[in-house]
Amino acid sequence: MKHLFLALIILGSLQSCKQNTKVEAANEKSMIIDSSSLLDKNSYKDLVFDDKKDLVCGMPTSAGVSDTLHYKDKVYGFCSKECKDEFVKNPAAYLAAK
């Protein structure tokens, strides 16, 4: 009986850890604001981006930006929707590599 109780506590703890990971991932995604629908493409030239290059492919933002994203109160420019979509999958990894 003692072992069963211990096993239930361990299983409960593991389940709790899984839930916390899901909540953290959801919170991370909620910090991302897609600004592409807010601005027309000509407005991008006046924006100041947090980085001087597209964090996914490395293209300089001064060469042209076709999509933007707000993340953790910063604006990032991307050369394409595909680069932005790739960044959204794991923003922390791209920012850590910066």
Is residue 24 domain-shared with residue 55, that is, in the same domain? Answer: no
Is residue 21 domain-shared with residue 53, that is, in the same domain? Answer: no
Could you list the residue range(s) of the whole structural domain that residue 10 is in?
A: 1-30
Q: Which residues contact 10 (CB under 8 A, 6 or more apart)?
A: none
In this prediction, residues 14-34 reach a mean pLDDT of: 54
Please give the tally of structural domains in the chain: 2
In this predicted model, what pLDDT tens digit does every residue of 33-81 receive, in sequence order? 665 555 555 556 667 788 899 999 999 988 888 889 999 989 999 999 9
Is residue 13 domain-shared with residue 47, that is, in the same domain? Answer: no
**In this model, does residue 3 exceed pLDDT 70?**
no
**In this model, does residue 93 exceed pLDDT 80?**
yes
Is residue 46 domain-shared with residue 20, that is, in the same domain? Answer: no
**In this model, does residue 5 exceed pLDDT 50?**
yes
Is residue 7 domain-shared with residue 37, that is, in the same domain? Answer: no
Is residue 70 domain-shared with residue 85, that is, in the same domain? Answer: yes
Is residue 26 domain-shared with residue 42, that is, in the same domain? Answer: no
Is residue 46 domain-shared with residue 89, that is, in the same domain? Answer: yes
> pLDDT at position 96, please?
92
Is residue 17 domain-shared with residue 60, that is, in the same domain? Answer: no
Is residue 21 domain-shared with residue 38, that is, in the same domain? Answer: no
